[in-house]
Structure 1
Amino acid sequence: MNEQQTTLRLLAQRLADSAGLRGKEDIQPVVRALGIGDGDAIRVGDDTAAIKVDGGWNLLACEAMLPAFIEQMPWFAGFSSLWVNVSDIQAMGGRATAVVDALWAQDAGQATLVLDGLRAASALTGVPVVGGHANLQSPHLALSVSVLGFAKQLLTSFDAQAGDQLVAAIDLRGKQHAPWPFWDAASDAPMERIRADLELMPTLAESGLCVAAKDISQGGIIGTCALFAESSRVGMTLDIDAIQKPANYPLEQWLCTFPSFGYLMAVPPKNVDALKDHFIARGISAQAIGSIDNTQTLAIRQAAQREVVRDLSRHPLTGCASSARQTLSA
């Protein structure tokens, strides 16, 4: 085994043990305890719940901020709490309608730091905060935000097919929030640009250029690929030399970074160029970064070498794959 082969194998091993990937395993006991997933009319394991109604789908999701994150960066945690919810709606081909928040803080001063960030994200995106819950006599600081949206045409995590290409669209204009693995391409961006960018995913869904997508989340590209592959019961192989990243950003770190504006899409080869053009025209990086097959493994590739990161058929992350491939009819 040469040096390059050894390096790729070690990278695969480290990615398999990354916190973002391992953290997704927490979903399994929750799914089991609630008895949801298999056979349910509303599928579990996507970026949002999708509820069929006349003319499309109502979309519903919830996010909570990591305790250490909200303690260390309260304004950005408040901002992120709305932004990540909007991103989940986008990944489903939808447009966010409104959010509600639940906030616990020791006093009004501590709460205001968080709420200022939430208000800034609302103003930037045009998504209103319409209610929620507050407790300003709490011994700890905590925040959860829920979002409602609507999609005329749905994108899901369940419909990637063998033979599709894996396309990543990521806004590389931004800054890192060290020591957290967060790339912020939103908080300092112009409102007009952000609101136009937020039309990209719904437009692509309605155009039919792709039918399967996932928001790049806390697990980064590698963790999101694992979730995507598990839900669709497919395998995904990332070509690490094809992955675009910010200058001087270490590749391994980038693979585990939450990129703020970032989506993975499973795209038929004939549609890849047209889909990429939508993002490139907005100044957003878009590139085919991998292939999709029937192996149910997550792998990385460099030149002719391929190393498995995780065999999802033997070691599932969320346990939601069994609910995949169900009909979306009401």
Structure 2
Amino acid sequence: MSAQINLRQIAQTLRDHPSIRSKLDIAQSTATLGLTATSEGQPGDDCAVLPGKNGYDLFACEGFINAFVQADPWFAGWCGVMVNISDILSMGGRPRCVTNAIWAQNAEQAQPVLAGMKAAAQAYGVPIVGGHTNLHTDQLQLSVSILGQAKHVISSFQARPGDVLICAMDLRGSYREPFDNWNAALTTPHEALRRNMEILPNLAEAELVSAGKDVSQGGIVGTALMLAEASGVAVDIQHDALPRPQGVDLARWLRSFPSFGFLLTARSENADAVCAAFRAQGVSASVCGDVTEGSTLHLSGRDGRALFWDYARTPYLNLTQKEASYA
């Protein structure tokens, strides 16, 4: 066993990792606000879903870890645009525009963050249309919002027992050290970035996908857990089948935040078409698990099977709760 992967140890390490546990904070805010999965906008999805005249308006917002913004301000600005675009794409939408809110000690400190945002907006073809600026604060901070539209929504709430789990990931990159950010965007031609933005809306409109989320902070396991809890299902991830860069440690990969990565569920008869749509653009995609009845997320492989989380015993986003008594 010493020469094999210890899945139980990996599961325990991931359960205790800050990037996984930070998602537990969401439940504190939603409880205070009195939000549940049935609230307007459907909290628990990657974007707020608002019915519109020609489909759905999608709205999302990301705030960034201060240590990340301080350590890599240009890339933080780029990510401000990139990760919001991923939220829109994950729901089958097309992004329209972004805004930002930036706090800095002065204009010089803010400049690389804004330059990174500008570069990403130009690369993806999504305009920055305004925001909020404060250049008299004691710490560099960033938040970015996005607006998009979808004709047919891919939701976190529609995975069903009998679906297969599909992981699509652009592996053509490397880590942006020292963080667990897998960067496959800066080395990709702008034309390819824009072509990739059509994959998920096209899959949504063809109704080939039942549910999905972009792989965000919390990595593959945290994202799969949020998807499972939202849909009220169990998920078994077969780690041997995951797209993974050669030489990357499994535990790190399972918690990594990729620049282009999605977890999707589909009926088995649609899986080949879903994977083919990504592979046609050079993005790795494979069936990597199963959706069943229950409330658990397991990691499985040649080395055995280990429980990562049971949201019935330990809620994660906990969007079924009522308003907190102290709110």
Q: What range is the shorter-chain TM-score in?
A: over 0.9
Q: How does 1:1-330 map to 2 (within 5 A)?
A: 3=2, 7-37=6-36, 39-303=38-302, 305-321=304-320
| Superimposed CA distance per residue, residues 185-219 of structure 1 (whole angstroms, 9 cap, x where no aligned partner) | 11231111000001001010001111311000011
- Distance, in Å, in 1 between the alignment partners of 2:215 and 2:204 is 17
CA contact (8 A) 1:20 1:219 kept: yes
- Distance, in Å, in 1 between the alignment partners of 2:204 and 2:37 is 26
For 1:43, the aligned partner's letter is Q
- SS of alignment partner, residue 95 of structure 2: strand
CA contact (8 A) 1:216 1:224 kept: yes
CA contact (8 A) 1:233 1:321 kept: no
| Superimposed CA distance per residue, residues 131-159 of structure 1 (whole angstroms, 9 cap, x where no aligned partner) | 11101111111110110000000000000
Q: Percent identity?
A: 42
- Distance, in Å, in 2 between the alignment partners of 1:11 and 1:217 is 19
For residue 322 of structure 1, report the CA deviation from its aligned partner: 6.4
In the other structure, the counterpart of 2:325 is none
- Distance, in Å, in 2 between the alignment partners of 1:33 and 1:322 is 10
For 1:151, the aligned partner's letter is A
CA contact (8 A) 1:97 1:149 kept: yes
- Distance, in Å, in 2 between the alignment partners of 1:322 and 1:203 is 34
CA contact (8 A) 2:4 2:303 kept: no
- Distance, in Å, in 2 between the alignment partners of 1:44 and 1:187 is 31
- Distance, in Å, in 2 between the alignment partners of 1:177 and 1:38 is 34
For 2:220, the aligned partner's letter is I
For residue 246 of structure 1, report the CA deviation from its aligned partner: 1.1
For residue 5 of structure 1, report the CA deviation from its aligned partner: 8.2
- Distance, in Å, in 2 between the alignment partners of 1:276 and 1:177 is 27
- Distance, in Å, in 2 between the alignment partners of 1:188 and 1:54 is 38
For residue 239 of structure 1, report the CA deviation from its aligned partner: 0.6
- Distance, in Å, in 1 between the alignment partners of 2:247 and 2:106 is 41
- Distance, in Å, in 2 between the alignment partners of 1:34 and 1:4 is 49
For residue 170 of structure 1, report the CA deviation from its aligned partner: 0.3
For residue 6 of structure 1, report the CA deviation from its aligned partner: 8.1
| Superimposed CA distance per residue, residues 266-301 of structure 1 (whole angstroms, 9 cap, x where no aligned partner) | 110000011111111111000111111111101101
For 1:302, the aligned partner's letter is G
CA contact (8 A) 1:24 1:317 kept: yes
5+ residue gaps, structure 2, are 323-327
5+ residue gaps, structure 1, are 324-330
For 1:212, the aligned partner's letter is A
Q: After TM superposition, what 4+ stretches of structure 1 lie above 3 angstroms from structure 2? A: 2-6
TM-score normalised over the length of structure 2: 0.95
In the other structure, the counterpart of 1:328 is none
For 2:159, the aligned partner's letter is A
